[in-house]
Chains A and B, each alone.
Chain A
């Protein structure tokens, strides 16, 4: 009963946000700069949330998320530009192919842990990038032109679906099992949890949504090039997740919003932008190694206000 109330509150809030923004865009009160920034924020949130599932919930240290973004971006661009199919098909195909790529990366991950897994995922992402670099069908290094099809509606609907799916997964039996994999793999194995299954599932679902984000991304920025999906992009996504707090979905969402806005705002100060960015990163890691929100969710804070001893432990 309580869960469903929360769910409906979320849906109502989402519809409200959507309508308000859509009204602003429709009657020109919000210019293209703001609407585009909002779309970009939505894409970044999808990326952050999808990686949150892999790192924050299941504890699999992946630093190659840009590879899945690239797969989604290219596949959807092929669907819309080369095959002339509708954008929605492109989004779905982008997601599915990225999920397949996630499966391929997820399977070797069974043998690897920690740093080794991190480096392997980085390697996979680079291989994906180099494969696109060598395919002339998608323009090779010079890239591929893509029509602008992403609208606020597409971006927001995808965002809402992503959050609902990942929140539901997290709160389900599967999510609890995934969290147990994160906390202690051997112990959860001993408890009869199929750790292999959950690790691969997390990779596949995370990659699916990264692919969806890739579809939105490629159709928002007119051109895609392999160089856009290098490991710096993976680090960007990783930073959203880590800064917000590993294991905190609302933390990932908030830091994706915050960092996108900061980065857009600092566009005019290029010399200092990356320096500020890296300093923030180092300072947060040194003084709050669990990220700004740790594993807390934003709803936990509301509960804290009401009952100072702490509410229920969901999301922990």
Chain B
């Protein structure tokens, strides 16, 4: 019975990683940039959700949507100001800029509101029920369903809409897409908007599930989500989802076996093993479908 409980713990953690990883994977797929600031967009989303619940008294869903919208805008602004000029720059210049943007967001938030943590209000009842001997809280069910809905929505956007088609085209071949009359700039902005919106949603969900948020909260989940994206095969949307879930479950198992202090190392060991033995990730080549 304990294992069912651990599995549920792992999946809940993993679905948050997956939501962040989606943004990484989409951005990397389209402009080959490790967007280090993505974890900080997640943090900003979490704070927007927090303030809209506590200050404006919104409920969970309005707060979630507001936070997603604000993050989408924020993502586009970051892209237009910082990354757009770098499309033809070297990888290292792009990466350093991303690190710079990440630090700027973190310390900008600290400058505005201080470094102290904030406790997310309880928007759902804390009740939990027993299922096969495991305790499942209503929160984790809601969180899981929100994540699943968002992922389905994303699949729909990518596969069934014009924007999604343009995104796929640009990630395959930017030049050819341009020749076909696709507005590459707008498509890239759309990618940032969608990825950042998902990070914003992950931020709100994280806040509700883990309660504590602070300006540096995005650093570790950001890196972990990147590991998840690589694990699933970077650039591949279902890969990011599976990668996130796998990472969450693995971390939980490592803790459950009594090695909680080694948990972070587990993520990086997986990362290195994957990079060395299967750099294209679990969903590698065969189903290559980049966005």
Say yes or no: A277 contacts B265, CB within 8 Å: no
Q: Is the CB of A119 within 8 A of B275?
A: yes
Stretch from B63-71, B104-112, B144-152 forming part of the interface with A: B104-112
A112 contacts B by Cβ under 8 Å: yes
Establish whether residues A281 and B99, one from each chain, have CB atoms under 8 Å apart when the complex forms: yes
Given contacts A115-B91, A274-B103, are A120 and B271 in contact (CB under 8 A)? yes
Q: How far is the CA of A56 from the CA of B73 in the complex (A)?
A: 36
Q: Is the CB of A278 within 8 A of B103?
A: yes
Contact across chains for A282 and B279 when beta carbons are under 8 A apart: no
A15 interface residue (CB < 8 Å to B): no
Shortest B271–chain A CB gap in Å is 5
User: Would A282 and B100 count as touching, CB distance under 8 A?
Assistant: yes
Query: When A108-B272, A120-B271, A133-B261 are in contact, do A274 and B107 touch as well, CB less than 8 Å?
Result: yes
Given contacts A108-B272, A127-B268, A282-B100, contact A289 B108 (CB under 8 A): no
Cβ contact within 8 Å between B268 and A123: yes
Flag whether B89 is at the interface (Cβ < 8 A): yes
Residues of B within 8 A of A127 (CB): 265, 268-269, 272
**B91–A285 touching, CB < 8 Å:** no
Residue of B nearest to A274 (CB): B107
Q: Which of A123, A131, A289 has the most CB of B within 10 A?
A: A123
Q: Which residue of B lies closest to A277 (CB)?
A: B103
A285 and B265 contact, Cβ closer than 8 Å, known pairs A111-B276, A112-B275, A123-B272:
no
Given A277-B103, A286-B85, A242-B92 contact (CB < 8 Å): yes
Given A115-B91, A130-B262, A242-B92, check contact A275 B108 (CB 8 Å).
Answer: yes
List A239-274 residues whose CB lies under 8 Å from chain B. Answer: 239, 242, 246, 271-272, 274
**With known contacts A281-B96, A285-B86, A289-B86, A115–B34 Cβ distance under 8 A:** yes
Cβ 8 A contact of A126, one of B96, B265, B279:
B265
Residue A30, interface by CB 8 Å? no
Q: Return chain B residues, CB-CB under 8 Å to A281.
A: 96-97, 99-100, 103
Verify if A61 is at the interface (C-beta below 8 Å from B): yes
> Interface code B233-269, partner A: CB below 8 Å = 1, 0 otherwise?
0000000000000000000000000000110110011
How many residues of chain A have a CB within 8 Å of chain B? 40
Q: Is A116 an interface residue (CB 8 A)?
A: yes
* Distance from B191 Cβ to chain A, minimum over Cβ atoms (Å): 17
Interface status of A194 (Cβ within 8 A of chain B)? no
B101 touches A272 (CB 8 A): no
In the complex, the answer to whether A119 meets B96 with C-beta atoms within 8 Å is no
CB-based contact B86/A126 at 8 Å: no
Interface residues of A in 219-241 (CB under 8 A from B): 231, 235, 238-239
Contacts A115-B34, A119-B226, A285-B97 hold; do A108 and B276 have CB atoms under 8 A apart?
Answer: yes
Return B218 CB to nearest CB of chain A, in Å.
Answer: 13
User: Across the interface, do B101 and A278 meet the contact criterion of CB distance under 8 Å?
Assistant: yes
How near does chain B come to A153, taking the closest CB pair, in angstroms? 35
Contact of A123 among B107, B261, B271 (CB under 8 A): B271
Chain A hits for B264, CB < 8 A: 126, 130
A246 & B103 in contact (Cβ 8 Å cutoff):
no
- Asked, given contacts A124-B272, A277-B103, A278-B100, whether A115 binds B95 with beta carbons under 8 Å apart, the answer is yes
Interface membership of A157, Cβ < 8 A: no
In the complex, what residues of B have CB within 8 A of residue A118's CB?
34, 95
Closest residue of chain A to B84 (Cβ to Cβ) is A286
- Interface hub of B82, B85, B99, B279 (most chain A Cβ within 10 A): B99
Decide if A116 touches B275 in the complex (CB within 8 Å). Answer: yes
In the complex the two chains form, what is the Cα distance from A239 to B110 in whole Å? Answer: 22
A140 to chain B, nearest CB (A): 9
Interface pair A114/B268, CB less than 8 Å apart: no
- B265 contacts across to A, CB distance below 8 A: 126-127, 130-131
Docked Cα-Cα span, A63 to B91, in Å, equals: 13
Please tell me if A134 contacts chain B, counting CB pairs below 8 Å: yes
Which chain B residue lies CB-closest to A121? B272
B104 touches A282 (CB 8 A): yes
Does A279 touch B at the CB level, under 8 Å?
Answer: yes
CB atoms of A285 and B93 under 8 A apart: yes
State whether B82 touches A282 (Cβ < 8 A).
yes
Does A159 reach chain B (CB closer than 8 Å)?
Answer: no
**In the complex, are the beta carbons of A120 and B86 less than 8 A apart?**
no
**Shortest Cβ distance from B290 into chain A, in angstroms?**
15
Assembly CA distance A126 to B85 (angstroms): 31
Tell me, in angstroms, the Cα distance from A114 to B93 when the chains sit together: 12
Tell me if B172 is interfacial: C-beta within 8 Å of chain A. no
Besides A108-B275, A120-B275, 6 other A-B contacts (C-beta < 8 A): A120-B271, A126-B265, A246-B92, A272-B111, A282-B101, A286-B97
Pull 18 A–B residue pairs with CB atoms less than 8 Å apart, ordered by A. A112-B275, A115-B32, A118-B34, A118-B95, A127-B268, A130-B264, A242-B96, A246-B92, A272-B111, A274-B106, A274-B110, A275-B107, A281-B96, A282-B82, A282-B101, A285-B93, A285-B97, A286-B86
Residues of B within 8 A of A (CB): 32, 34, 82, 85-86, 89-97, 99-104, 106-108, 110-111, 223, 226-227, 230, 261-262, 264-265, 268-269, 271-272, 275-276, 279
3 interchain residue pairs of minimum CB distance:
A281-B100, A123-B268, A274-B107
